[in-house]
Amino acid sequence: MPSYQGFLSEVLITEEQLKSRVKELGEQISRDYANSKSLVLVCILRGGVLFLTDLMRQISIPHAIEFMAVTSYGAGLRESSGQVRISHDLNTDIHERDVILVEDIIDSGYTLASVLELLCARKPKSLEVCTLLDKFERREIDVSVKYVGFSIENKFVFGYGLDLDDLYRNLPFVGVVDEEKYKNTKIEPD
Ligand code: IMP
Ligand code: MG
């Protein structure tokens, strides 16, 4: 397996920066939902997992967690199509509950818009979004996002939950891929 150092163009967000921003977001959510009796964090698999597990440890009020997995129809490797199918649904009813959707990154916004529509139909008491990263320049559909970790430029990133062809989610930082070098590392030598 090629080591990421060969195609890491830069560390965009360090482990320390992630830690301190996630702490701030956790504190903000704890304040905003201090009176909530039914808070549930809904994590979109798989990219949001590292963010969720760090974020929940910074939230000081009682809350539940749930997971949802969605697949984009006909999407290319690095972009989504706009139509999503639920491949794993929530295990609990979110009716009349305060829901925060926890995402790794918003790109075109199509994935998020579809998931919000699905969840909204279940009539939660409230529904907000908390995303670690926001590639705002790429937005094609308007979605309202209450909590944003970092707004980033239009570069393909990996690490801290985000994958590069399903790998490298474990890296403790968010890095930018050097596409040219990455392409070359995938060609096996004779
Ligand atoms: P959207 O539907 O275009 O907003 O796509 C969002 C999804 O695309 C995210 O949940 C990620 O799974 C994936 N994605 C978009 N940009 C990146 C990136 O830079 N690195 C890794 N995954 C990405
Ligand atoms: Mg994702």
Is the CB of residue 164 below 6 angstroms from any atom belonging to ligand 1? no
Q: What is the Å distance from ligand 2's center to 67 Cα?
A: 12
What domains lie within the chain, and their CATH numbers? 15-153 (3.40.50.2020)
2 vs 117, higher pLDDT: 117
What backbone torsions phi and psi does residue 58 show, to the nearest 5 degrees? -100, 5
Residue 15 pLDDT grade (very low, low, confident, very high; cuts 50, 70, 90): very high
Per-residue confidence (pLDDT) for residue 73, from 0 to 100: 65
107 is catalytic: yes
Instruction: Compute, in angstroms, the gap from residue 79 CA to the centroid of ligand 1.
Output: 7
Beta-bridge partner residues of 84: 72
The CB of 48 under 6 Å from ligand 1? The reply is: no
Averaged pLDDT score across all residues of the chain: 93
Helices 15-32, 49-56: axis angle to 10 degrees equals: 60
How many Å lie between the centroid of ligand 2 and the Cα of residue 21? 19
| 109-129 pLDDT tens trace | 999 999 999 999 999 999 999
Q: Provide the residues around ligand 2 (an ion) whose CB is within 5 A.
A: 47, 104
Strands of 46-162 (E only): list them: 64-72, 84-88, 98-106, 126-134, 147-151, 157-158
Surface-to-core class of residue 92, CB atoms within 10 Å of its CB (0-12 exposed, 13-18 middle, 19+ buried): exposed
